[in-house]
Amino acid sequence: MSHPHYYIGLMSGTSADAIDAVLVTFDEHPRLIAHYSEPLSDSLREQIHALALPSDNEIDRVGALDISLGQHFARISLTLLQHAEVDPEQVIAIGSHGQTIRHRPPGSPQGCFTLQIGDPNTIAELTGITTVADFRRRDMAAGGQGAPLVPAFHRAIFHSTEEPRVIVNIGGMANITWLPKQEATLGFDTGPGNVLMDGWILAHHGKSYDESGTWAASGAINQMLLGKLLQHPFFAQAAPKSTGRETFNRQWLEDALQGIALGAEDVQATLLELTAITISNAIHSLSSEPMAVFVCGGGAYNMQLMRRLQALLASDKVESTASLGIHPQWIEAMAFAWLARQTMNRQSGNVKEVTGAQREVILGACITPDVAFTPSEH
């Protein structure tokens, strides 16, 4: 009897609220074996957010945080395996997205590069498991945006020949994957997902997110503020396109609020509407035919956001990916487990029509620990 081929996927998103870890097999079809999530401390979150924009002493701060996050990723991977009662030597590879601290897509005045930290050497050393990381820069080297990368995974597990589908991933930023029945897969970032809402409620209520969108639902949408926010040129930019906290951040919001007196709850309602409108506008740009829309990421738990999406996409069915058999919280971490598998099998992991790369390439750098290593030695 053959043993399962296990992979671990690690994900820490733009909001830097938690590290998600999954244990997955892909032997017959993607199967989630175990999952574990651990919130990041306020201190770590503040350090990450502070590095999203240019500031002093960046190199030393990045270097120290790179190692610290690598240690966190390793410990969380081992905790996941303990919960699942799986030995580290049974895992073929860890796929670690890392923590993005700067993303400059093609055309950026500062140059074209992307940087994720969470040292994979540290992960491999502390776990004894081959670790695949640094997925985005290979796509950029081939002329792509380096993002979004999850559409390749969405295509592999969610494509249907019976209905056109859109997978909406709402993390800190939001992106969509268009899965027509026959034509090529398309996808791109649509703009802010939860990042502005999370930052606003943290500043005003000390909470990391607006549970179920309840606070946003208590406010009123301000059309003047919404109009100013929607003027950002990213929303009119043609795909392929990607974005991040460098573009959509608290300072950008504060600039838009100049001269507008609003209650904090009204700002939250308007930020939620910004996310809903930019996602729905992007979906409407894909096709006029009815389609099935499936939401994953933290946004799937924001009931007010889901209600607004359904209202704006009235002719489309809007559900979470749970209706397709995969819990929405774990999709992105599963995607990076899958990308690690692609790398280990020397198969491409990007979709060139999505990222704008010249060709589909093998993504990621692979760190292999010593053969004789066992984690118990540390």
**CATH number, domain at 206?**
3.30.420.40
Residue 318 has a pLDDT of 97
Domain end residue (candidates: 329, 350, 366): 329
Q: pTM value?
A: 0.93
- Is 357 inside any structural domain? yes
Residue 54 has a pLDDT of 87
Distances (CA, A) of 287 to 246, 251, 283, 328, 351: 30, 34, 7, 24, 20
Percent of the chain with pLDDT over 70: 97
Residue 247 and residue 364 share a domain: no
Residue 378 has a pLDDT of 36
Residue 377 has a pLDDT of 38
CA diameter of the chain: 69
Residue 371 has a pLDDT of 60
- Is 1 inside any structural domain? no
Residue 266 and residue 249 share a domain: yes
Residue 341 and residue 209 share a domain: no
Residue 253 and residue 183 share a domain: yes
Q: Known binding site: residues?
A: 13-20
Q: 167: which strand partners?
A: 177, 294
The alpha carbon of 241 is separated from its chain's Cα centroid by a whole number of angstroms, namely 15
Domain end residue (candidates: 292, 310, 329): 329
- Is 120 inside any structural domain? yes
Residue 315 and residue 289 share a domain: yes
Residue 107 and residue 29 share a domain: yes
Give the whole-angstrom CA distance, residue 18 versus residue 37.
Answer: 7
**For the chain, what is the domain count?**
2
Q: Known binding site for ATP: residues?
A: 13-20
Residue 292 and residue 159 share a domain: yes
Q: Among 336, 196, 348, which residue's Cα sits nearest to residue 257? A: 196
Residue 14 has a pLDDT of 83
If residue 16 lies in a helix (H) or strand (E), which one and from where to where?
none
Residue 273 and residue 185 share a domain: yes
First to last CA, the chain: 32
Q: Which residues, 6 or more positions from 186, have their beta carbon under 8 angstroms from its beta carbon? A: 151, 177, 178, 239, 286, 353, 354
Residue 154 and residue 122 share a domain: no
Residue 293 and residue 234 share a domain: yes
Residue 58 and residue 21 share a domain: yes
Domain encompassing residue 355: 6-145+331-377
Residue 160 and residue 135 share a domain: no
Domain end residue (candidates: 329, 345, 363): 329
- Residue ranges, the chain, pLDDT below 70: 1-2, 371-378
- Is 50 inside any structural domain? yes
